[in-house]
Structure formats: structure tokens, C-alpha cells
DNA sequence: CTGAAAGCGCTTACAG
DNA sequence: CTGAAAGCGCTTACAG
């Protein structure tokens, strides 16, 4: 059994390399003791400077900071974490299947953590696993995580939030609705984006409009549908039961739903899809049916991931600022004070008009 | 200046939450001292069990393991790392711009690390930055990384390998050619995949064949080109200077190169592209020129990322087992002994024939 | 095969 | 405003 729960390369077991590791290029890294000695103070005072304590005379602080800078000293996060009983690691726990989303979210979190000394540990998971909660718990507890960021759909799992509260781990939930206290939330405002899509479609003169929804289990499915209906309502339009088809946020489900909708008589002249993947699927379906987009039918997506520009015609879609949202989440988690007030418009979705939408056919 | 190099939420500065953190749900986690006491041995002996030392009597070991299991004890990686002078974190340092690649690589690394107690810290970087090497160095040294995995193109940077050797950090380079000692390499065999693509194209009867290359700075560009030429050579065909156009592995460069190639007289009847992105671009270009794929021109890609199936027609391409390669890299780094011998065919690229390639037009 | 002492590099009370 | 002592949870020599 090599599935032991501890790293297996131990010193006593067998480590051929360990002997040569002592002889590294360059001199030993400075420690807090070195800095204290060099600055002629106790290590506690150096510690105060590191931790930005106000109880240090300016003169002393400057002297210490000079020594720190001269030696390029950086405190050991491991030792600091051991004493703090809390590491300087941020966990991202997620099950979102879209690579573009995942990568943009990671980049955003890293943006928000830059220069802070924190590092990002990634932790994909499976919410359906019987050991899911136990996995999350042991991940958080073993690493003594400073905090975790939860994108959808993990963010929508109340069991996870409850667990995190119980074990006293800071967390930020990213979701399309306010699911928790404000200090734990970054909200995406999917409704606004979907409403903008509705207005765009209505503005083009469409009346026979269909909606392909994401899966029931995602809050964003409901928000995007709700926002779309809000937008239509402004022009006095509304979706009937029949106008809504249930997809699964996948390309294949988009093809299937497209097949259903495009076979109808009368055919819808515009289809709003819960995400780009499904919109790309509808494009595929239209091609099979010999229909032109947007001449015969307009198609609008949501997310503005790369696929939106790679398909033909390029998709009109709702851009979501995933990376910016990630940045905000990280900043909130680690408690960064911002110079400028937050510009809320930067995290709002916005409509991007491309070539997959056009006037209603005559 | 909040750009201090240490986490800013310090106890002395201002931490409103810190007081309530002491009162967490449930009892304190067990430590090595608890286990030692409960098992009636010294902590050193518990340590020996944790580290799989052979110098423990079987009876003693079993008793200790029983206590460990009963209490669900897991050693604190932070304390262990402090004593070891080495953390149990694996870094992935990368600059590959493709989200699908990045996510699959991460998943593969995680596959290889599962159950080992290691965690994955992600570290995107910019090789062109003047502080690049310094950034890598301080990341590795500060976190006392157990080791790092370098996908292309970071893996191709000799300065990074040199640095890592100097500071004594284990590393695995993932590349399309053997750039280093075998213990530091996982090789992708891009040549084989490109040769298979050539054979497929030749088999379809094509003679006027063009190649869109990736950027000079990526080794894979050269390997894919070389492999393609090898494959053609088997049938006595060869590429002239004129048949090769230089792209940049991006969708846009694919469009541009497609525009150039498809405007020629006589037009090539088949185009092999260095990756899927560029192949998707060529599809776009063909559409603009009013050409049908594969009736007028066959297009073949490389990678088999999602885009290959989302475009129309779906791309014939070379599938690369990114995730499997990541798994091997992680296993090699942490020194996992494998039950079965490695199945090399699992890391070889393989041709996937879809609808973007067909017989040469008559 | 097993253990007591010292140490990894920090921070926490507690003094002054 | 500053410091000496003890401790965070492990592992390393060194003994036996």
C-alpha cells in the first residue's frame, strides 16, 4: 500500500538525494535571528516589524527594515504558520467543468493575492462523492488553510458553508445570488446580463423567442432565466412554459435542445442560451437543419468564453468578468484595503454583440 | 504601501476575528504527543512510523498505527516541513496560454499526487518579465517547495533548470524532446503524432500540402514540423520552404495564415496546423473565402482540445494525453513506485479522424 | 529496536 | 516602546 496519507519520501526510508541537498549554491537564507542580531534588537521586535505592529519606535523600525532589505530577508511562511496555527495558503475548491472559467478564476485570485505572501492551492472536487464533505474538511484542517474561495456550484452547497463555519475557516462564496452574509459573498449579477440580452433580442424585433436553460441544480440557471424574463417583461413580452427547454450547460445538450426548438412550427426566430457551450451546440444544430444564423434564427449565449469567438458565426453573448470577480474574492478574503473605492461596474456582466444575432426574418 | 511582502493580516495590526477563532467546533486535533502518550511510546517512535522507518518492531508499529487510525491523526505538514526544511508543496510553474492545457495538466498532477499528502500550488508566470528568474527563485525558496513541474514553454528555459539545480530543488520538465537527464524529463513524442497526421493526409491522396508552424520559440513547433516531414518522407513527399507558413499558435494567426495559403494558385489541398487553435482559424479563413472543408481543402490540427469538436466541421487532429502526462510527472517527482510497469502507449499522441479531412478534390 | 534533548523559524503571553 | 522565556508540532543527531 503506497496510499499512506503522508508523503512517502522520508529521510529514514530511502532518499538517495538527501545528502547532496545540504550543499546548495550560495549562503544560507537569513532568519529572524540574523536580522535581530544585525539590527541590534530582539527577535520579538523584528517580529513586530514583520507584522506591522504599531508598537515600534520609528527609528527602530527603519533600522530593522534597512537590514531586512539589505539581506533580502523574508520570513519563513512555514514557521510563521506553525506559530500562528494557520498557514498562508488560500484554497480554491471547485467543481466547475469549464477550463476557461477555472483558469480565469485562478488568475483573478492570484491577481488579488499578488505581493501578499499568500499562495494558491487548487482543489478540484466532486460534490456527488460520498466522501466530499470529509475531503473538504481534511483538506482545510490539515493545511490549516488561511481561507478558501468557493466558485459555483460548490459555493451553492450549504453543507460546505456550514462546515467551514464550524471549523472556523474563512471563506468567500462566489455566486449569482446573495446566499450568505455580505462578508462571505461576491455576487455576479447574472440577472443584469440576461436582461440586457433580452433587450437586445427584443430590440431586433423578435417575438417568437425561446430560452435554453442550464441545469436546475445551478443557481445561475435560475438567475439567467429570471433576468431574461425581466428583460422581456419590460417590453411586455413573456416566456410560456413551452418556450423554455432544459439543457445541461454542455455543447451536446445545446445540440439536442436546438434540434427540438428548430423543428417546431412556427420556429422561434431567436434563442437565448444559458451559456456559450449550449449556444455553440445550437449553431451546430442549425447547420444540420440547413438554417442560417442569424438570417433564419438568432442565437445568443452567456459567458463570452473563447468558444464564443471560435465558432461561426461568432456569438453575441454576455461577457462575465470572471477574472475581476476572482480578484475581488481574494482581496476580500485576505482583507486588502483598497485605495480607490470598488468600481462595481467592473464586475457587472455586459452584452457583447457579434454576428450570431440579427433582425427578425421577414 | 500595502505591497509588503508578508501577509498583512497580523495579530497585532488589527484582526477583529482572531478572538473568535479559538472557539472552534469540536475538540483539538491530535498531535504526535497525544499519539505517543496514548500508545505508550516516545514521539520519536511515532515519528518513525509516520516516516515508514524500518527500525520499529512490528508489534510496536501496529499498536501505534491503531491509535493513529482511531484518532484520525494526520501529522501537521507545516511542522513536519519546518523540521524537514522542505515543504510538502508541489509547484506548477507555467506560461502556457491554453486554458484546456493548463486545467488538464493540473488535473493530471493532482491524479499523480492523490493520497500522497502533497498539495499543488499554481504559479503562472511571464518568461519575458525582467524579474522572471528572481520570481521563480523566491517562490521556490520561500515556500521551500518539495519540487516543481515545468510544462512548456517554461520547461524549455535552460535558465530555469540551471537555477533549480543551483538551489537544490527537484523538478520535472515536460517537453516534446529530451532536454535534460531522464530523471528530470517527461517527453511528449510530438513527432509521432505529427507523423501520423502526415500519413493520414498522404493516404487521402493529397500532394499539395501546406504546414502552418507554431512560433519558433516553442520546441513543439519544431518537433511537430519535423515529425510531419518525417511522415511525408515515408511516402517520398517533402515540404518546400514555400509550403511552410509561420503562425503563433493562436486562432488569429490561423486565420491570417489561412488567408495567405488559400489565396495561392494552385491552392494547397491539405493544411496541417501546429495546433487546434490555428486549425480553427483556417476553418474561419476558408469560410470567408467561400471554400468548403474538406471538399475544397482538408484541415488537420494538433492537441484535440475542446475547440476541435466545437467548430464546424469537427477537426481531424492529434490527441495528446496531457492529463496522463501530468500524472506521470507528479509520480516521478514524488517518487511513487508503480505496481504495473508504465504503459508508454498511454502517453503517446494518437490521430483522431473527424470530418475536416477528406479525399483530395478532383 | 527505542528514547531524551535540542532545534527548525517563527509568535504568544508576560514582564518591564 | 522593548525583551527573555516558552511553545507551535514535528525531526535530527546522539545515545543506549
Q: pLDDT digits over B78-108, tens only?
A: 999 999 999 999 999 999 989 999 999 999 9
| Mean pLDDT for chain B overall | 90
Q: Which of residues 74-93 of A touch strand C (CB under 7 A)?
A: 75-76, 79-80, 82-84
Does the pLDDT value for residue B29 go beyond 90?
A: no
Q: Among A8, A24, A124, whose Cβ lies nearest the Cβ of B110?
A: A124
Could you tell me which CATH class the domain A84-188+324-344 is placed in? alpha beta
Question: What is the Cα–Cα distance from A104 to A319, expressed in whole angstroms?
Answer: 13
Within 8 A of A301 by CB-CB distance, chain B residues are none
CB–CB of A251 and B310 under 8 A? yes
Q: Quick check: B79 CB within 7 A of strand D?
A: yes
Helix B43-50 / helix B58-71 crossing angle, nearest 10 deg: 90
CB–CB of A280 and B119 under 8 A? no
> Number of CB pairs < 8 Å for A and B?
203
* Lowest mean pLDDT, pick from A120-129, A308-317, B27-36, B154-163: B27-36
Q: Pick from A310, A311, A313 the residue to mutate for testing the B interface (most B CBs within 10 Å).
A: A310
pLDDT, residue A293, reads: 96
CA A220 from chain center: how many Å?
Answer: 14
Within 8 A of B79 by CB-CB distance, chain A residues are 82
3-state secondary structure of A203: helix
- B249: its cell numbers: 499558435
Q: Among B79, B88, B121, whose Cβ lies nearest the Cβ of A119?
A: B121
User: Residue A280 — φ and ψ, nearest 5°?
Assistant: -65, -35
Question: What is the Cα–Cα distance from A278 to A214, expressed in whole angstroms?
Answer: 9
Q: Quick check: B39 CB within 7 A of strand C?
A: no
pLDDT mean over B336-348: 67
Using a 10 angstrom Cβ sphere, with 0-12 exposed, 13-18 middle and 19 or more buried, the burial of residue A138 is: middle
Question: What is the Cα–Cα distance from A358 to A295, expressed in whole angstroms?
Answer: 7
The tens-digit pLDDT sequence of chain A (362 residues) is 333 445 544 433 333 333 333 333 446 788 998 898 888 888 889 999 998 888 888 888 999 999 999 999 999 999 999 999 999 999 999 999 899 999 999 999 999 999 999 999 999 999 999 999 999 999 999 999 999 999 999 999 999 999 999 999 999 999 999 999 999 999 999 999 999 999 999 999 999 999 999 999 899 999 999 999 999 999 999 999 999 999 999 999 999 999 999 999 999 999 999 999 999 999 999 999 999 999 999 999 999 998 999 899 999 999 999 999 999 999 999 987 655 666 666 778 999 999 999 999 88
CA A337 from chain center: how many Å?
Answer: 21
Give percent of chain B above pLDDT 70. Answer: 90
Question: What is the Cα–Cα distance from B356 to B312, expressed in whole angstroms?
Answer: 8
Our CA-based measurement puts residue A295 at a distance from the nearest CA of chain B, in whole angstroms, of 17
pLDDT mean over B5-23: 38
The residue whose CA lies nearest the C1' of nucleotide D7 is: A83
Using a 10 angstrom Cβ sphere, with 0-12 exposed, 13-18 middle and 19 or more buried, the burial of residue B252 is: middle
For the CA of B40 and the C1' of C12, the distance in angstroms is: 30
pLDDT, residue A336, reads: 73
pLDDT, residue B5, reads: 44
Maximum distance among all Cα pairs of chain A, rounded to whole angstroms: 86
- A340: its cell numbers: 480607490
Ordered strands of the B209-213 beta sheet: B244-246, B209-213, B270-273, B298-300
Tell how many helices (H) and how many strands (E) occur in chain A: 13, 11
**Which residues contact residue B257 at a Cβ distance below 8 angstroms, ignoring those fewer than 6 apart?**
B212, B245, B246, B247, B278, B281, B282, B285
pLDDT, residue A342, reads: 64
pLDDT, residue A362, reads: 81
* Lowest mean pLDDT, pick from A355-359, B26-30, B167-171: B26-30
User: Residue B245 — φ and ψ, nearest 5°?
Assistant: -120, 145
CB–CB of B100 and A102 under 8 A? no
What's the CATH number for B84-188+324-347? Answer: 3.40.50.2300
pLDDT band at B335 (very low <50, low <70, confident <90, very high): confident
Our CA-based measurement puts residue B161 at a distance from the nearest CA of chain A, in whole angstroms, of 14
pLDDT, residue B316, reads: 98
Our CA-based measurement puts residue A278 at a distance from the nearest CA of chain B, in whole angstroms, of 10
**DSSP-assigned states of every residue in B252-301:** HHHHHHHHHHHTSSSPPSEEEESSHHHHHHHHHHHHHTT--TTTT-EEE-
- B210: its cell numbers: 501546406
- Tens digit of each residue's pLDDT (9 = 90 or more) over B198-244: 999 999 999 999 999 999 989 999 999 999 999 999 999 999 999 99
What's the CATH number for A190-320? Answer: 3.40.50.2300
Within 8 A of B121 by CB-CB distance, chain A residues are 89, 119-121
Does the pLDDT value for residue B295 go beyond 60?
A: yes
pLDDT, residue B55, reads: 86
CB–CB of B12 and A55 under 8 A? yes
Query: Which H helix or E strand runs over B221?
Result: helix B219-233
Handedness of CA B168, B129, A335, A109 (dihedral sign): negative
What's the CATH number for B29-75? Answer: 1.10.260.40
Within 8 A of B117 by CB-CB distance, chain A residues are 4-7
For the CA of A82 and the C1' of D6, the distance in angstroms is: 15
Q: Quick check: A47 CB within 7 A of strand C?
A: yes
Q: Is B13 left (phi over 0), alpha (psi -120 to 50) or beta?
A: alpha
What separation in angstroms does the CA of B29 have from each of B67, B71, B76, B259, B262?
Answer: 14, 9, 10, 64, 67
| Domain boundaries defined on chain A | 29-75, 84-188+324-344, 190-320
**Closest chain B residue to A114, measured at CA:** B3
Question: What is the Cα–Cα distance from A216 to A214, expressed in whole angstroms?
Answer: 7
Within 8 A of A5 by CB-CB distance, chain B residues are 74, 115, 117
3-state secondary structure of A245: strand
Q: Which nucleotides of D are covered by protein (CB under 7 A)?
A: 1-5, 7-13
Does the pLDDT value for residue B8 go beyond 50?
A: no
Does the pLDDT value for residue B12 go beyond 50?
A: no
Nearest nucleotide by C1' position to the A22 CA atom:
D12
- A257: its cell numbers: 435542445
User: Residue A67 — φ and ψ, nearest 5°?
Assistant: -65, -40
Do A190-320 and A84-188+324-344 have the same topology in CATH?
yes
Q: Which residue has the cell 467548430?
A: B311
- Tens digit of each residue's pLDDT (9 = 90 or more) over B265-288: 999 999 999 999 999 999 999 999
CB distance B120 to B92 below 8 Å = yes
Q: Quick check: B76 CB within 7 A of strand D?
A: yes
Within 8 A of B169 by CB-CB distance, chain A residues are none
Prior bond to B313 cis, omega within 30? Answer: yes
Q: Are strands A270-273 and B147-150 parallel, antiparallel or unpaired?
A: unpaired
More confident: B53 or A11: B53
Amino acid at each position: 500500500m503506497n496510499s499512506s496519507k503522508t508523503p512517502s519520501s522520508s529521510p529514514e526510508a530511502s532518499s538517495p538525494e538527501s545528502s547532496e541537498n545540504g550543499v546548495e549554491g550560495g549562503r544560507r537564507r537569513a532568519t529572524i535571528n540574523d536580522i535581530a542580531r544585525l539590527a541590534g534588537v530582539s527577535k520579538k521586535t523584528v517580529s513586530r516589524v514583520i507584522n506591522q505592529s504599531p508598537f515600534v519606535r520609528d527609528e527602530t523600525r527603519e533600522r530593522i527594515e534597512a537590514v531586512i532589505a539589505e539581506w533580502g530577508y523574508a520570513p519563513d511562511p512555514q514557521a510563521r504558520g506553525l506559530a500562528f496555527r494557520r498557514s498562508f495558503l488560500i484554497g480554491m475548491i471547485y467543481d466547475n467543468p469549464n477550463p476557461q472559467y477555472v483558469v480565469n478564476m485562478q488568475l483573478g485570485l492570484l491577481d488579488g493575492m499578488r505581493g501578499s505572501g499568500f499562495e494558491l492551492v487548487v482543489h478540484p472536487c466532486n460534490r456527488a462523492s460520498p466522501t466530499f464533505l470529509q475531503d473538504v474538511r481534511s483538506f482545510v484542517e490539515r493545511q490549516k488553510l488561511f481561507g478558501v474561495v468557493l466558485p459555483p456550484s460548490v459555493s451553492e452547497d450549504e453543507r460546505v458553508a456550514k462546515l467551514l463555519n464550524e471549523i472556523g475557516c474563512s471563506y468567500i462564496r462566489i455566486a449569482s445570488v446573495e446566499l450568505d452574509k455580505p462578508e462571505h459573498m461576491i455576487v455576479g449579477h447574472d440577472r443584469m446580463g440576461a436582461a440586457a440580452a433580452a433587450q437586445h433580442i427584443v430590440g431586433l424585433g423578435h417575438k417568437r423567442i425561446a430560452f435554453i436553460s442550464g441545469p436546475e441544480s445551478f443557481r445561475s440557471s435560475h438567475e439567467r432565466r429570471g433576468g431574461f424574463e425581466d428583460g422581456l417583461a419590460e417590453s411586455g413580452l413573456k416566456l410560456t412554459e413551452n418556450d423554455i427547454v432544459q439543457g445541461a450547460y454542455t455543447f451536446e445538450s445545446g445540440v439536442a435542445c436546438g434540434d427540438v426548438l428548430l423543428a417546431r412550427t412556427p420556429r422561434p426566430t431567436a434563442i437565448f442560451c444559458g451559456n456559450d457551450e449550449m449556444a455553440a451546440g445550437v449553431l451546430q444544430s442549425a447547420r444540420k437543419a440547413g438554417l442560417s444564423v442569424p438570417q433564419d434564427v438568432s442565437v445568443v449565449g452567456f459567458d463570452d468564453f473563447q468558444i464564443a469567438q471560435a465558432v461561426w458565426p461568432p456569438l453575441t453573448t454576455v461577457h462575465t468578468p470572471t477574472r475581476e470577480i476572482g480578484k475581488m474574492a481574494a482581496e476580500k478574503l485576505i482583507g486588502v484595503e483598497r485605495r480607490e473605492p470598488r468600481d462595481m461596474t467592473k464586475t457587472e456582466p455586459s452584452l457583447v454583440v457579434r454576428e450570431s444575432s440579427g433582425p427578425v426574418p421577414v
